[in-house]
Amino acid sequence: MGLHDLISFITYHHFLTGLAILLAILYLAYRKLASAIYLVDYVCYRPHNSNRIPMSMFIEHVLVEKQFDDTNIDFQTKILEKSGDMPSSLPLSTAQNKITLIKQRRNRNSNVLHGADLLEKKDISPKAIDVLITNCNIYCPTPSLSAMVINKFKMRSDIMGYNLSRMGCSAGIIAVGLAKDLLRAHPNSLALIVSSEILSQDWYDGKDRSMLLTNCLFRMGGAALLLSSRNQDKKAAKYVLQHLVRTNRAQDDQSYKCVFMDMDTENKTGVSISKGIVKEAGEALKANMASLGPLVLRPLIEHIYSRADKGKKLHQYLNFNSNMALIHIPCSEKYLSSEKRKKRNLCLKEMR
């Protein structure tokens, strides 16, 4: 083989190698684009002013109903004063019979689910929705909440409807994870997530203080999110879903029982909130951040340096209030990543 033939042979193989690499890059880019999940838009439910109940009216209700003694009324009043919450969307009067409460819960949930004007805002027909996921903290009626929405908007008969109930505050994130998996399994689709919180069913009229907390800390509310895996929604979308990390600590007995529905000594049903909930939330966040950290260290070199820094420890400072958990993660003095230099903080959804 002459020199000219050798050069031609090498050039030809280099061309094939380069072409293969280019095709691989294009394929990976297409896969990434095709698997992108967009948050097109979202709306939050704004309750009517008639749902506002001042603290004085709340106290009047419990006095008229004579459900609590003075000690427990004082305890709930103190919790309300220190909670920092506004006097809005509290459960209505408990001085009603069971039949009225059932109708009230259904009507209230209908308001929360259907009050969101997301589809009208984006000018999208309900029949264009391919996936519907509803979730509520505890309320679990029959027909389901997803069936309620489908009936209200007269959606398609082949819509993939799911209802998540009794999963607490984590149900919203779980719903987003489920929608992400369904949209990737069914490309070029739209998913509607409707989250709600209805508490009338779980009014507690006993004497256990750990269960009385739920009467004071939680509210009625709702939100709707429109997710898409369609390329045409890329420019109109507000956000792109990059990472979703879940941590399940139900295998730990303390975590499992930190928010627990049970019966008190008088056989009254309520949801108790243990004193160890902050500690368990911290453990969950620690495990969650350990999984999330490598994903948000964008430059590869930062990830390598942070792994190589043997003296680095992860410190989490939790500053809890009624609405937000703020996590500040300082790096070691030896290695400060660009994330630290930018003084970035992570704001997580309320931990309740």
Chain-centre distance for alpha carbon 84: 22
Are 69 and 178 within one domain? yes
Residue 167 phi, psi (nearest 5): -115, 10
Contacts for 268 with CB less than 8 Å, ≥ 6 apart = 204, 205, 206
CB 188: neighbour CB atoms within 10 A? Answer: 13
CA distances to 94, 114, 155, 211, 215 from 90, in Å: 11, 19, 32, 16, 9
What is the per-residue pLDDT for 1?
53
Does residue 115 share a domain with residue 13? no
SS3 for 233-289, per residue? HCCCCCEEECCCCCCCCCCCHHHHCCEEEEECCCCCEEEEECCCHHHHHHHHHHHHH
What is the reported pLDDT for 336? 43
Shared-domain flag, residues 130 and 19? no
Give the residue from 204, 225, 244 where a domain finishes.
244
Q: Do 116 and 235 have their domain in common?
A: yes
Shared domain for 21 and 89, answered yes or no, is: no
Q: Describe the crossing of helices 145-153 and 98-115 by its angle, rounded to 10 degrees.
A: 60
Residue 17 domain boundaries: 9-35
Q: Are residues 164 and 207 in the same domain?
A: yes
Residue that terminates a domain, selected from 196, 229, 244: 244
What is the reported pLDDT for 64?
A: 80
The answer on 23 and 157 residing in a single domain is: no
Kindly state whether residues 174 and 58 are assigned to the same domain: yes
- Single residue among 189, 210, 244 that ends a domain in this structure: 244
Q: Is residue 15 part of a domain?
A: yes
Angle (CA) 183-189-190 rounded to 5° is 95
pLDDT tens-digit readout, 120-176 = 888 889 999 999 999 988 788 888 989 989 998 899 999 999 999 888 888 888 999
- Is residue 341 situated within a structural domain? no
Q: Is residue 175 part of a domain?
A: yes
pLDDT of residue 133: 96
| One domain for residues 149 and 18 | no
Label residue 98 by pLDDT band (50, 70, 90).
very low
The answer to the question of residue 223 being in a domain is: yes
Model pTM score: 0.72
Report the CATH number at residue 176: 3.40.47.10
